[in-house]
Structure 1
Amino acid sequence: MIAEIETLMQHWAEQTRRCGMEASLSSPMGTLMEFAGGMPRNLPGPRELMANGAGPDHIAREIEAALARLAHQGERGQLLFKLANLRYLPVPALSVPRQMQLLALPMSADRTYRNWVQRLHERVMRDLLRRAQCRAA
């Protein structure tokens, strides 16, 4: 396991759970429809969405892009993508034995599970570095 990538993956999961991977603001047409033609003005209350930004932060979007690329890299990539979703997204977190069961691994395959986590971290790190290099060029 790569500790830095583990931290980034946990951050991605928290961001995904908190605000999903899609950011959106209401449209004027949607607001007109919601309020039957009369758009509200100067409503009191917090403006959290605008103040804190909409959707996940840049780091979470980069992790999501790396995972999406991984999901399109054959059967092994899809398996690692599934591992990422099982390991990081559920609340409360799934136990390792439960994750192994959902991945169709025998309970005696703890070493295999740890190797898959390592491989997931390596592939995500490689893709993050590739994406950073593309932006720098």
Structure 2
Amino acid sequence: MIERVEKALIAWGEQYRRRGTVAALPCVLGTLIDNGGEIIRSTGGASGVALYAGDMGLIGEAVEAALVQVRLNHPLGAELSKLARVRYLTDPMPLVEHQRRRMRYKSEDVYQDRLHRLHETLEPCLIKALPWFRRSA
């Protein structure tokens, strides 16, 4: 586990939860679902949807972008993205045993290996997006 990546992922989880599900779906379909079939539009803003809760912050946005890149470009991308959601988006963070069960990992070693791969894969993306991240070690 890489401590600074762990802290960034924890911050991402907190920011993501604070935004809520409406902000997680700033699109027409998400708005329809959240508003019972009605579209509420604002007069300004990039999304055009009044319920959009705003930015997550630098760290949250960087982690979100890195997870998208991992999902698209890494052989284990879908699995690592799911592990990030299982581990960091639940408050409080589930016990390792519960995380392993949700991920269907048979052993602690597999879980630790995947968690370390997640951190190793995200670290270069975070350093590229946030140059000061390298110094935060």
1:94 aligns with 2:94: yes
User: What's the TM-score, normalizing by structure 1?
Assistant: 0.68
Question: Which structure 2 residues correspond to residues 22-61 of structure 1 after superposition, within 5 A?
Answer: 27-28=42-43, 54-61=54-61
Q: What 5-or-longer segments of structure 1 have no aligned partner? A: 30-52
2:119 to 118, 121, 131: 121
Whether the 8 Å contact between 1:2 and 1:118 is mirrored in structure 2 is yes
Matched AA of 1:14: E
Query: Is the CA contact (8 Å cut-off) linking 1:23 and 1:54 kept in structure 2?
Result: no
Aligned position for 1:49: none
RMSD: 2.7
What is aligned with 1:44?
none
Distance in 2 between the 1:2 and 1:112 partners? 17
Aligned residues: 109
Aligned to 1:5: 5
Contact 1:71 1:78 in 2 (8 A): yes
Contact 1:23 1:55 in 2 (8 A): no
**Structure 2: stretches of 5+ with no match in the other structure:** 27-40, 45-52, 132-137
> For residues 73-115 of structure 1, what are the alpha-carbon distances to aligned partners after superposition, in whole Å with 9 as ceiling and x for unaligned?
2551110000000010012322111111111111xx1011111
Secondary structure in structure 1 of the residue aligned to 2:76: helix
User: What is the distance in 2 between the residues matched to 1:15 and 1:124?
Assistant: 17
1:18 corresponding residue in structure 2: 18
